[in-house]
Every structure is written in C-alpha cells, then in structure tokens.
Amino acid sequence: MAFVLTRPAAHTRPAAHTHPAAHTAAAQVGVAREADDVVAPSQHRLASRSRVKVISAAPAHVLLAVLALVSIYPVYWMFVTAFRPAGDALSTNPLPGPVSLENFLTVWQQIPIGSMLASTFGMALTLAAAQLVVAVLASYGFARWSFRGKKVLYLLFVGSWLVPFQVTMIPNYLLVSQLGLLNTVAGVVLPQLCSAFAVMMLRQHLESFPKELLDAAQMDGRSSWQTLWQVVVPNLRPALAALAIMLFISAWNEYLWPSLIMQKSTALIQIGIRAFLGAEGNNWGAIMAASTIACLPIFLIYIFLQRYVVDAFVRSGLK
C-alpha cells in the first residue's frame, strides 16, 4: 500500500521552484520555535508567561495524546498478545505480561519464518537498490541535459501515476508467466524495477543541484558518467538514503503483486503469513507473534532512522 501512495501528482511542477527553499524554511521554523520554548522558561521574567503558554497548549496536548494513543494501541496490543503465554491470549489485562516466547516458538515450528524473512529482505533490498540505480540514471539524464523529446519522455513518468496497477495486471501477469517466473521472487521484482516516483523525486533534487559543481567537474575533464558517481551521488547522499529507505519499506509492504505472482509459493512473508493466518484461525497469540515478526524489520528501521522515514514519506505527500 505504501508503494502506491508515494507517487506524486503531475502538479509537482508548479511547486517545484519553491521546493528546496520551502523545505529548509520548514525545518528552520521548527527549530526556531523549539528554541523559543527552551529559552523562555530559563528567563525568570518570562516564567509566568511561559506557564500561561503551557496551560493554553493543554487542550492541544490532550488532542495529540488521544490521537497518538488511538494510533499506537493496536500495535501495542499486537506486541502484548504476542508475548503472552499461549493460554493467556484472551486475557483482558491491558498491561503486558507475563512474558513468554511460547507463541513465537509455535510460529517458528509451524512455518519457515526464518527463510521467509531472509527472502523478503533480499527481495526488498534488491528491488530498492535497483529502483534507486534506474532512477538516479534517469533523473540525471533529465536534469542535466535538454534534448529532443525530453518533455514527452518525462510525461511518460508523470502519466504512469494515472495507470492503476490493477488495469495492467493481466498483461503483466501473462508476461511474467511467459518468462517462466511465476512463483519466483524475480517475477515479483522485475515489473517494479522502474519507480516513476523515485525518478520524479530525484529529478527535483537534481534540478536544485549547484550547476557550478557540474561545470567544475567537466573542467576537470570528468566524463558525465564520472561526474554522476564522483560528484552528484556523494552530494545527494541524504536524499538518496531517505529515498532508499522509503523504497525498501514500500517493497516490504507490497501486497497485491506478490499475492498474484506467488500463488503457489510462500517464500515471501506477506503471502506466507497470510496462509498461516488462514490455518491458525483463532489462535490469536500465534497470529500476533507472526504479525509482529512481519513488522519487525520495518519497525527497527523506523526506530533507528525515523527522521529519514518520516521525511521521505511526508515529502512525497507535500509536493
């Protein structure tokens, strides 16, 4: 689902010229306001004023806290149920405990969860890396030169946003099947190699890339290929990292296409766990344990790289 979400609209263009400035402005405003809050209480004269500020912000805090609670409760409950002893699954105690790994053991014994994780990880990593390389090349071509047919070719990328996957899935399925790739991870990866969203997002970054650097590289006698890998890519590292993380998460969470291609294989976690859910019925402890495992890599990425994740997804919606 995340994957479809992240394709920006055709009208990225009118806003494009504000893009880098607007973004840093947003960050600066955030920082400035934060600084305000920190400084104010430290100054005695302002203490009462800041107390007024805190009180007037109370309803906003309550609102956000409720929203955060609603958002996090289902995930919390998933963890709590997963870590209970199998017999306590129906417990209504909202607090965690007693902790037990029994449910995880059940999952481990019932399905090859380790190999599912490994192959899904491999699939998502390959797909994200390939999408990134394809997008870097294309966006560099679009941003650096103007050439005959450029507008039309670029419109292909923008327009692909209007072609829902469900409309092209039958011909895609037939092609994958003709290539003999049904029920293989390659069949899942191949049709998604070009992410139009990644191309459009990187092009925006590249258009604000300082032209002086490109000129300097050219003067040093670097070819366009060397310039790309030695000058452009190292300078774009934060943007590329954010995009790579987003592509990885989207690939991991992709559901529709794997469910069509992998009908007779449970190699990928989405499909493997779907089968497990069907088989386990009401064994909620084991089901929550399997779900926890399916989410774990994404949650770990989120915990350690939160800034990148939010930044990439939100920006995809901003423009």
Partner 1 sequence: MFTEVPGPAAVSSKTLVVGPDGLAPERPAGGRRARAARRLVPYLYVLPAVILLLVWTYWPLVQTAGLSFQDWNLIPTKPKVFVGVAKYAKVLSLPELHQALTNTVLYIVAFLGISVALPLAFALLSRKVQGKARTFYQALIFVPFLVTPVATSAVWRWLFAPEGGTIPAIAATLGMPLGNVFRDPDSSMMSVIVIVGWQMLGFGVLVVSAGLAGISPDYAAAASIDGANQRQITWRIVLPLLSPSLVFLALMTILLSAQWTYPIIDLVTQGGPGNSSTNIYYLLYQFGFRNFDAGLSSAAGMLFFVGFGLVALVFVELSEKLSFHDN
Q: Given CA atoms 240, 244, 247, 253 in this order, what sign does their dihedral have?
A: negative
Q: Does residue 196 bind partner 1 (CB under 8 A)?
A: yes
How many Cα atoms are found within 13 Å in the side-chain-facing hemisphere of 1?
A: 1
**Which position among 42, 56, 237, 264 is part of the footprint of partner 1 (CB under 8 A)?**
56
Which range touches partner 1 (CB under 8 A), out of 13-21, 40-48, 102-110, 181-189? 13-21
250 phi, psi to nearest 5 deg: -60, -45
281: left (phi over 0), alpha (psi -120 to 50) or beta: left
Is residue 302 involved in binding partner 1 (CB under 8 A)?
yes
Lay out the site mask for partner 1 across 108-137 (x = CB under 8 A, - = otherwise): --------------------------xx-x
- Check residue 155 for interaction with partner 1 (CB under 8 A): no
- Say if residues 289 and 82 touch (Cβ distance below 8 Å): yes
CB of 304 to partner 1, least distance (A): 12
48 belongs to the binding site for partner 1 (CB under 8 A): no
Burial (CB count <10 Å: 0-12, 13-18, 19+), residue 187 = buried
Residue from the set 39, 46, 47, 72 that interacts with partner 1 by CB under 8 A: 72
The answer to whether 42 contacts partner 1 (rule: CB under 8 A) is no
Instruction: State the minimum distance, in angstroms, from the CB of residue 146 to partner 1.
Output: 4
Q: Which of residues 211-240 bind partner 1 (CB under 8 A)?
A: 211, 214-215, 218-219, 221, 224
Contact (CB, 8 A) for 119 and 185: yes
Task: Give the other-Cβ count within 10 Å of 41's Cβ.
Answer: 14
**Residue 205: both structure tokens together:** 């970054």
- For partner 1, the binding residues in 73-102 under the rule CB under 8 A are 74-75, 77-78, 81, 89-90, 92
